[in-house]
Structure 1
């Protein structure tokens, strides 16, 4: 099956929508990387605030994971292809993995907060690309994803006060 067999009809210009798909695939890779890091911290958090952080990380991970299908389907709706493997994610992600044996809860909160804020910047950049392409559907979806990432960063900030 060739790439042309997966082309979905769209009224958007091919070169503009390809740029949007590239931006969305970067967001998708970062979403998977952020999801896995958040689950990693969920599984490995310890200390006196264990229950609160454990539950918050799980809630945030679920929220992040829920957007992955929306992002990938948006890429497909515009006639492009999306990520196919962990290797593809690794090539495209800008969110750095954390493979440390132990991370303090305070460092977990700070790292996830920074990652979510960096994700907000990537979302804003993707929104500009979508706007330039005339892709108002992607532009609109990005608003919701930005609000969710800002909310996560806010919760992580507040939870980290005095952590």
Structure 2
């Protein structure tokens, strides 16, 4: 009978234990990487919502092209969120838990304006993506310093995707030259 009680007690202790995942990274490294990745995650969520906002409120003669471009880019941003959060959990740290947590952590500024010109939307999103690339490079450095190859590898792909979004937004936002081209 005592054995069953011991098993139950062990099970209860495990249920009360915080979420931990074993890793060979140091506790300091996991805290630093998770903090940096949570900031990136908050920025990606903020940029996702801003991109969708501009997608929903696009207007003008290039509406269809811009509308589709922003939808594609929003999908790409949203696709980043789960791998970022899961990477944080894989190294044994907690991730963002709510919209409020995102709002407290994000560095990408919201745009709640009633109306934004299409060119202004593209320009603002291009700048936000450019800033995100810089932050991704910073986090890559933190991962390199901690020898977290897996996080660094993911970040390399996100840098490439973010640079592409920046490029597309920049090119789509260029004004036509005097010849109409």
| 76, 98, 101: which one aligns with 2:89 | 76
Larger Rg belongs to: 2
Give yes or no for the alignment of 1:25 onto 2:6. no
Equivalent residue number for residue 3 of structure 2 = none
Give yes or no for the alignment of 1:38 onto 2:51. yes
TM-score (norm 2): 0.88
| 14, 26, 40: which one aligns with 2:27 | 14
Residue 17 of structure 1 deviates from its aligned partner by 1.3
Give yes or no for the alignment of 1:104 onto 2:104. no
Q: CA RMSD in A?
A: 1.0
Aligned counterparts of 1:17 and 1:127: Cα–Cα separation in 2: 14
Aligned counterparts of 2:67 and 2:107: Cα–Cα separation in 1: 25
Gaps of at least 5 residues in structure 1 are none
Equivalent residue number for residue 159 of structure 2 = 146
Aligned counterparts of 2:146 and 2:106: Cα–Cα separation in 1: 23
Gaps of at least 5 residues in structure 2 are 1-14, 177-181
Equivalent residue number for residue 4 of structure 2 = none
Note the 1:83-98 alignment, pairs <5 A. Answer: 83-98=96-111
Aligned counterparts of 1:133 and 1:91: Cα–Cα separation in 2: 26
TM-score (norm 1): 0.97
Moved >6 Å (runs of 4+): none
Give yes or no for the alignment of 1:67 onto 2:80. yes
Q: Equivalent residue of 1:5, what SS?
A: coil
Residue 5 of structure 1 deviates from its aligned partner by 2.1
